[in-house]
Structure 1
Amino acid sequence: MAKYRQVQVAFWQDNFVLDLTPEEKYFYLYLMTNPKATQIGIYELPLKVIEMETGYNRETVEKLIARFEDYGKIVYSQDTKEIMITNWIKHNWNSSQKVISRVDTELRGVKDKSFIQKYLIQVLEVEENQEKIQYLYGMDTVSIDYGYKDKEKEKDKDKEKDKDNENDNESDQEKERVGVVFDKYVELGFGTINAFKAEQITEWLKIFEPDVVIKSLEVASNNNKATMNYVNGILNNWKQRDLTTLEKVEAEEKRKQVEQLKPSYQQRRREQPGEVAPSWLKDEDKPKPDKPSGPVKTAAEDPEIQKMIADFRKG
């Protein structure tokens, strides 16, 4: 946890802040700089703690939280007593290994899983728009960009604005595709999605449609192998066999089922009716006469043979 937080002086000239009441300005600064604030902007903050640290009573605290939720600046979980500052990552993201490691550690401690999913979706958006991120301070500071830039930067921003608007719909659709898979991942018991797993799933979604990736999750879960490594093995196999659509995957499953129902060659031989055996095989099956037992007699010892020889000589 950081020992201090730093806020840009431009905070006080921001249009949103200028419209706030003194009470709201104080509360907004408190949310960004209180001792429980984290690198990811998601942290546990019970209402009782807010009362003690701000001096407000419960009714005022609840009204302020509801008001900032309406402004779209925070989300508060009544179940886990956690708060999420919604635009935190846009002004505090850094892809350095030090920051990634800390983010991963803090995400593991988040209790409200919906906060994790929202955060990871924002990570994907930030990573795809690196040119819009300014790393003005270290990882333990709060850098808030309220739109006060140099004139040249403002001009460049205006030129890009139209292009960004054209991509808004595609970006929203992509978030929805990723979010559906993330939800299924958690629902099927694979556990919490960290930054590394989120990146793996996103890479697979560049090859497969969401329903195919979800199918791989279901196959792994049904086989009691709810791990990302097992899912990677399934998807690699499907990729090599060009099973890139749900129709192809289901067709292959049906083909395997049909193959399993077909009888083997030995079964077909046994079940084939009316087969006629060859005559030589039948002769071999006939019982052969027993051979005479005892020693074999020679011609000189056999009286019958001697008689036949004598008759032959007489002519």
Structure 2
Amino acid sequence: MPNTPTTEAVTFYKQHFGEIHPYMRSELEKWLSEAGDDLVMEAMKRAVDYHKLSWSYVKKILINWKKQEVTSVEEVRKEAEPIAQQQKKRQYRKNHSTRKDIVPDWFKERYHEEKQKSEQKSNVPKDLLTDIVAIASKYQNRKSALNVSTI
């Protein structure tokens, strides 16, 4: 038996949504005859993409398309383009905030003064401090290696 669109939709449903019972099969066939195989398949694919694996979600998509008088997958994609562009703009704005906090000069000056004071308080030369950090790092690495080898 060749893979007709209707059997393709049923197979897709079984693979992604689960067992298809007689009532569900009649619902699916009703929508296939009413909206067409391509639209039903597209609605199911969108549900899977959004991790909404329920027939009610697919049905709501199909009902919305019916209200909007969408009759083809091309129309669905054209309708989705402006929405996708808005989402991209929103995401861009979210990731590339142009807001800059205004920090008064007196705060910056205080910060730099405190930083200089803390550097002056440290009586340990920077070279010695670097050596201590390197030795501690080597010790930590050896300790980790020993713990791994005893397991």
What TM-score range do you get, normalising by the shorter chain?
0.5 to 0.7
Q: Secondary structure at the match of 2:34?
A: coil
Partner of 1:259: 86
**Does the Cα contact within 8 Å between 1:212 and 1:244 map onto a contact in 2?**
yes
Q: 27, 30, 42: which one pairs with 1:200? A: 27
Distance in 2 (alpha carbons) for counterparts of 1:246 and 1:208: 11
Gaps of 5+ in 2: 91-97, 99-151
Distance in 2 (alpha carbons) for counterparts of 1:204 and 1:221: 18
Runs (4+) of structure 1 exceeding 3 A deviation are none
Written as runs of structure 1 = structure 2, the 5 A alignment for 1:117-128 is none
Q: Secondary structure at the match of 1:207?
A: helix
Partner of 2:5: 177
Distance in 1 (alpha carbons) for counterparts of 2:10 and 2:88: 36
Q: 1:25-81, CA deviations, whole angstroms, 9 ceiling, x for partnerless residues?
A: xxxxxxxxxxxxxxxxxxxxxxxxxxxxxxxxxxxxxxxxxxxxxxxxxxxxxxxxx
Q: Secondary structure at the match of 2:33?
A: coil
Number of equivalenced pairs: 94
Q: Secondary structure at the match of 2:4?
A: helix
Displacement of 1:225 after TM fit?
A: 1.4
Displacement of 1:177 after TM fit?
A: 2.5
Written as runs of structure 1 = structure 2, the 5 A alignment for 1:17-166 is none
Q: Secondary structure at the match of 2:53?
A: coil
Superposed CA RMSD in Å reads 2.8
Distance in 2 (alpha carbons) for counterparts of 1:177 and 1:261: 34
Distance in 2 (alpha carbons) for counterparts of 1:248 and 1:256: 13
Distance in 1 (alpha carbons) for counterparts of 2:31 and 2:82: 25
Distance in 2 (alpha carbons) for counterparts of 1:247 and 1:208: 14
Displacement of 1:260 after TM fit?
A: 2.8
**Does the Cα contact within 8 Å between 1:207 and 1:244 map onto a contact in 2?**
no
Gaps of 5+ in 1: 1-117, 119-171, 264-270, 272-315
Displacement of 1:262 after TM fit?
A: 4.5
Q: 173, 179, 187: which one pairs with 2:15? A: 187
The AA in structure 1 aligned to 2:61 is I
